[in-house]
Amino acid sequence: MDIWLTICRKTVPKCSYCKEPIKLGEVMIAGRLWLTSKKEGEIRKWVKNFRWHAQRKIYPDYMRTIGAVGPVDPIGEECCWLVAGLDYLSTHPQEETRGRKQLQLPKKQKDERLKILRQRARLVQKLKELMVIPLAEQSEVDTAKMIKIGSQIEELKEQISLLGGVPSSWESSG
């Protein structure tokens, strides 16, 4: 079983232990159990995920089993390994790593960059249409158009380099 301490990125409907919801942004313990079974010669594999609150809760039933007398309220108590984990999370905040990183540009520059990206897409599409024509059927006009489109794409590279840099996909194509 794998167990790790993390921050809840999506509200969990119920804790695997106490059945209460774990809210967005709360610290939680996540667990993953890898299971296999062999039935009728067929091997089945599956994964069971667990989500627990990061705070250990002591319930009245448990307190009575250890000898407590009288009314007992639920008590929240933190484990020592949990304190260490919480300290680590407070000093190492989690950053979102999913998805493409956003360019830190003002809105006007983003709009200009998008305009250049669209212009290049149109030019590349025209270039592909011209390149589909068989070589025997191509005229000097088609060849001149391809050369002109190539020079326009190079100009767009120079323009976009001032607006956040040239995309890596542009280096290998067009």
Q: What is the DSSP code string of 13-50?
A: SS-TTT---B-TT-EEEEEEEEEEEEETTEEEEEEEEE
- How confident is the model over 104-141, as pLDDT tens digits? 889 999 999 999 999 999 999 999 998 888 877 878 88
Q: Counting Cβ atoms within 10 Å, is residue 25 exposed (0-12), middle (13-18) or buried (19+)? A: exposed
pLDDT given for residue 154 in this prediction: 92
Between the two ends of the chain, the Cα-to-Cα distance in Å is 50
Would you kindly state where each structural domain of the chain is located, as residue ranges?
A: 2-91, 107-172
Strands 27-39 and 42-53: antiparallel
Q: CA separation (Å) from 168 to 37, 98, 171?
A: 47, 19, 5
CA–CA–CA angle 17, 22, 25 (5° rounding): 145
Q: Which of 168, 158, 165 is closest to 104 using CA atoms? A: 165
Rounded to an integer, what distance in angstroms lies between the CA atom of residue 159 and that of residue 48? 52
What pLDDT shows up at residue 173?
54
Q: Which pTM was predicted? A: 0.46
Kindly tell me if the per-residue pLDDT of 66 is higher than 90.
no
* Beta-bridge partner residues of 52: 29
3-state secondary structure of 122: helix
Query: Whose CA is closest to 89, among 152, 30, 13?
Result: 30
Pick the more confident residue, 24 or 135: 24
Q: Is the pLDDT reported for residue 79 higher than 90?
A: no
The confidence band for 1, taking pLDDT boundaries of 50, 70 and 90, is confident
